[in-house]
């Protein structure tokens, strides 16, 4: 199953609504990120896709823990201006987590860039890295696969 399909429509709406609001200046990027989060949450309502701290803002690390079975979805708040790098680091835990990384263009077409499997044997500190093409919204889905177990992570989107 393509894990990114469920957020393609949302990412497309974000791209159309905020694609032109993200010049290189940090202040404007932060403002557009806040607006994009509000817009995203208005689209998904109170579903499992609703993001609180799950924005994938450029140069801002997010941390968290996958507990048990279920997804944690991150959606880029603005399209990448140039090639970017998405890094997801396992910081601890023993859960098996499948990591899907996708990119969505302005037309709503998405590409699953890479799928990783973090297991109990994956050492803490291991980084999974993916290059995200320019002019795309990055999407990452962390999917816990064990009923009992946790995996802590850090996720960061930066210029390549």
Task: Check residue 77 and give its pLDDT.
Answer: 82
Confidence of residue 1 (pLDDT cuts 50, 70, 90): very low
Sheet of 84-93, strands arranged across: 62-67, 150-159, 84-93, 127-132
Instruction: Record the tokens describing residue 68, joined without a space.
Output: 């048990």
d(CA 45, CA 54): 14
DSSP string computed for 132-160 = E-TT-EEEEEEEE--SS-EEEEEEEEEE-
Task: Check residue 121 and give its pLDDT.
Answer: 92
pTM: 0.71
Contact between 138 and 157 under an 8 Å Cβ cutoff? The reply is: yes
Report CA-CA distances (Å) from 26 to 34, 58, 82, 155. 12, 9, 15, 19
Residue corresponding to tokens 């202040």: 27
Domain count within the chain: 1
Contact between 154 and 92 under an 8 Å Cβ cutoff? The reply is: no
Q: Model confidence over 19-69: pLDDT tens digits?
A: 655 444 444 555 666 777 788 878 875 455 666 547 788 999 988 888 777
CATH number at residue 79: 2.60.120.510
d(CA 158, CA 6): 24
Question: Domain span at residue 90?
Answer: 5-159
Residue 17 parent element (H or E): helix 5-18
From the CB of residue 56, how many other CB atoms can be counted at a distance below 10 Å?
23
Q: Model confidence over 121-160: pLDDT tens digits?
A: 999 999 999 999 999 999 999 988 877 778 899 999 999 8
């Amino acid at each position: 199953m393509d894990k990114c399909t469920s957020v393609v429509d949302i990412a497309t709406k974000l791209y159309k609504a905020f694609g032109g609001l993200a010049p290189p200046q940090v202040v404007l990027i932060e403002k557009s990120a806040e607006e994009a989060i509000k817009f995203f949450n208005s689209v998904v309502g109170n579903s499992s896709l609703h993001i609180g701290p799950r924005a994938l803002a450029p140069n801002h690390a997010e941390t968290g823990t996958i507990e048990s079975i279920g997804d944690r979805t991150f959606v880029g708040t603005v399209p990448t201006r140039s090639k970017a790098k998405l890094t997801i680091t396992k910081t601890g835990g023993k859960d098996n987590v499948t990591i899907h990384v996708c990119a969505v263009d302005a037309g709503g077409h998405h590409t699953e860039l890479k799928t990783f499997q973090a297991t109990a044997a994956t050492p803490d500190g291991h980084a999974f890295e993916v290059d995200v093409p320019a002019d795309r919204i990055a999407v990452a889905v962390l999917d816990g696969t064990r009923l009992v177990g946790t995996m802590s992570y850090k996720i960061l989107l930066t210029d390549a």
